[in-house]
Amino acid sequence: MADRNLRDLLAPWVPDAPSRALREMTLDSRVAAAGDLFVAVVGHQADGRRYIPQAIAQGVAAIIAEAKGEATDGEIREMHGVPVIYLSQLNERLSALAGRFYHEPSDNLRLVGVTGTNGKTTTTQLLAQWSQLLGETSAVMGTVGNGLLGKVIPTENTTGSAVDVQHELAGLVDQGATFCAMEVSSHGLVQHRVAALKFAASVFTNLSRDHLDYHGDMEHYEAAKWLLYSEHHCGQAIVNADDEVGRRWLAKLPDAVAVSMEDHINPNCHGRWLKATEVNYHDSGATIRFSSSWGDGEIESHLMGAFNVSNLLLALATLLALGYPLADLLKTAARLQPVCGRMEVFTAPGNRRWWWITRIRRMHWKKPYRRRACTVRASCGASLAVVAIAIKVSVH
């Protein structure tokens, strides 16, 4: 990457910042190294300013720290020859700072954000697969990991820190990515982790009870998700009209694309729309006929269940809204593959019975997985269906 300098980085906020060459940007004093910029934020569990001496001892070139309770906004101090610049509301500014540090990577690829309780992983994977089939070099960021398709590296959180997100995007740009589908968690939105990203499109899948230990109640959980549209550069808005929350949001988003498989769309009331007109489920997926503002079509899907029909329609509507031709999307749809570790079909050796596998990522997601079990029963007919459940701890 191009050379980075503290003065250039802080020019919009602190015009008289000193000149210092910078190597990397980090929130973690344990990995701070010679030449790095250490950012000392006040978090939910720890105050990063406590670790400034450690970062200095490890040779950092400069420090940006939260001003609240310590200094005035824009104040510059020096500790052992290292400049310390204090900024107010540093957490809120961090995405923009990291964006400048990594040369605004979201300007250099087509970025799609997907939020909602369920369906984020599958929808992002479908978006990345489909766009790559149409000539993009595509990547994903989210629950299963970050990286180019086929080269995804596992991660701890659905949405990383503001610095991590910009750093990952910059790395993807360096690897040649032209399209990225990103899962956007409610935690990430509330904590400003994606505040300065420029989304080409933003997708809402659905909302059900989740993360109430963090948000307190459904009202605050919905408000957290709504931030993607109300306080971010959301680009094209794609909203699931089959969800009650989605229908409320569509009333506030007149330019959004409404998507439905349950006939919740009146074409006379929405500027742009896409809806399933007929869905036939079978033991290898579903045949989906649809109408839309872009025309009609039929898709043969290898993904199982009504929830995946919804995910696929959301991905289709997003790519149509971004200008990908309907004819090309229809030609390539049959090549879309199920997401590994979600709902998949396997044939047992020696017979024709179907085996099914899904994964529960959060132990309290009971209702969505009951629906998946019903899908298995409805689609497999008389054949035997086996659901294997793997429990994984909650991720944010």
**Domain limits for position 43:** 4-88
Domain annotation covers residue 117:
yes
Q: Which of 64, 93, 74 is nearest to 4 (CA)?
A: 64
Domain annotation covers residue 240:
yes
Q: Which of 248, 287, 291 is nearest to 273 (CA)?
A: 291
Q: Domain containing 24 — which CATH number?
A: 3.40.1390.10
Q: Is-contact 62 35, C-beta < 8 A? A: no
Domain annotation covers residue 383:
yes
Residues 38 and 121 placed together within one structural domain of the fold: no
Residues 355 and 244 placed together within one structural domain of the fold: no
* Residue 217 pLDDT class (50, 70, 90 cuts): confident
Domain annotation covers residue 394:
no
Residues 354 and 254 placed together within one structural domain of the fold: no
What integer pLDDT is reported at residue 360 of this predicted model?
45
- Is pLDDT above 80 for 202? yes
Measured at the CA of 99, the angle between CA 94 and CA 101, to 5 degrees, comes to 95
Q: Which of 132-136, 213-217, 314-318 has the lowest mean pLDDT?
A: 213-217
* Residue 270 pLDDT class (50, 70, 90 cuts): low
Mean pLDDT for the stretch of residues 303-322: 97
Q: Is-contact 119 205, C-beta < 8 A? A: yes
Residues of the chain with pLDDT > 90, as a percent, come to 76
- Is pLDDT above 70 for 262? yes
- Is pLDDT above 60 for 391? no
Spatial distance between the Cα atoms of 291 and 278, rounded to a whole number of angstroms: 10
Domain annotation covers residue 9:
yes
Give the sign of the dihedral formed by CA 115, CA 97, CA 136, CA 345: negative
Q: Which of 88, 113, 141 is the last residue of a domain?
A: 88
Residues 84 and 201 placed together within one structural domain of the fold: no
Spatial distance between the Cα atoms of 133 and 329, rounded to a whole number of angstroms: 9
Residues 355 and 384 placed together within one structural domain of the fold: yes
Residues 200 and 323 placed together within one structural domain of the fold: yes
First to last CA, the chain: 29
Which residues touch 81 (CB under 8 Å, ≥6 apart)? Answer: none
Residues 138 and 64 placed together within one structural domain of the fold: no
Q: What is the DSSP letter of 361?
A: S
Q: Which of 307, 335, 363 is the last residue of a domain?
A: 335
Residues 128 and 271 placed together within one structural domain of the fold: yes
Give the full edge-to-edge strand order of the sheet including 62-66: 25-26, 37-40, 62-66, 82-87, 76-79
Domain annotation covers residue 355:
yes
Q: Which of 62-76, 296-310, 377-391 has the lowest mean pLDDT?
A: 377-391
User: Does the pTM of the predicted model rise above 0.85?
Assistant: yes
Residues 62 and 127 placed together within one structural domain of the fold: no
Both tokens of residue 177? 């990515």
- Is pLDDT above 60 for 358? no
Domain annotation covers residue 93:
no
Residues 120 and 13 placed together within one structural domain of the fold: no
Spatial distance between the Cα atoms of 204 and 207, rounded to a whole number of angstroms: 9
Q: Is the model more confident about 188 or about 340?
A: 188
Spatial distance between the Cα atoms of 158 and 57, rounded to a whole number of angstroms: 32
Q: Which of 88, 121, 142 is the last residue of a domain?
A: 88
What integer pLDDT is reported at residue 353 of this predicted model?
44
Residues 267 and 319 placed together within one structural domain of the fold: yes
Q: Is-contact 115 142, C-beta < 8 A? A: no
For 46-105, write each residue's pLDDT tens digit.
Answer: 999 999 999 999 999 999 999 999 999 999 999 999 999 999 999 999 999 999 999 999
Residues 136 and 253 placed together within one structural domain of the fold: yes
Domain annotation covers residue 96:
no
Question: How many structural domains are present in the chain?
Answer: 3
